[in-house]
Amino acid sequence: MEQLENYITKTVEHMADSQRELVRIVEAEKYVVCHMAGLIAHTPDESPFEGGTGAVIEHSSLITKSISAYLNSLADLEDALATHLELAMKQLNEPSHDE
């Protein structure tokens, strides 16, 4: 039983470390998104591209979709970590059948 508790403890510690790393990544992404918003705010109203406004809108749309997909994947990772942590905590709190 002690080995199982040690295994669960190490797993929970590892998941806590993963959560801290995820928070660090999300914080970094927040600054990236803020910086990108600042860059967009400073973009001139006139199109510097030969393709005109349509090309700018198309490129902006692709960038927005890429950022959204990346942030969604981070949210999915966070959900998966939370689910695993929840299962580990439930297993740790279950009464032992050996006692």
Give the Cα separation of 78 and 81 in Å (integer).
5
Mean pLDDT of 71-84: 86
Q: Who has greater pLDDT, 84 or 53?
A: 84
- Residue 87 located in a structural domain: yes
State the amino acid at position 58 in one-letter form. E
Taking CA atoms, 31 is separated from 28, 45, 62, 66, 97, in Å, by: 5, 24, 20, 17, 49
> How many domains does the structure of the chain reveal?
1
- Residue 98 located in a structural domain: no
Q: Who has greater pLDDT, 36 or 98?
A: 36
The answer to whether the beta carbons of residues 98 and 36 sit under 8 Å apart is no
Mean model confidence pLDDT for the chain: 81
Range of the domain at 83: 2-93
Look at residue 56 and tell me whether its pLDDT is greater than 80.
no
User: If you search the block for the tokens 């914080």, which residue do you land on?
Assistant: 27
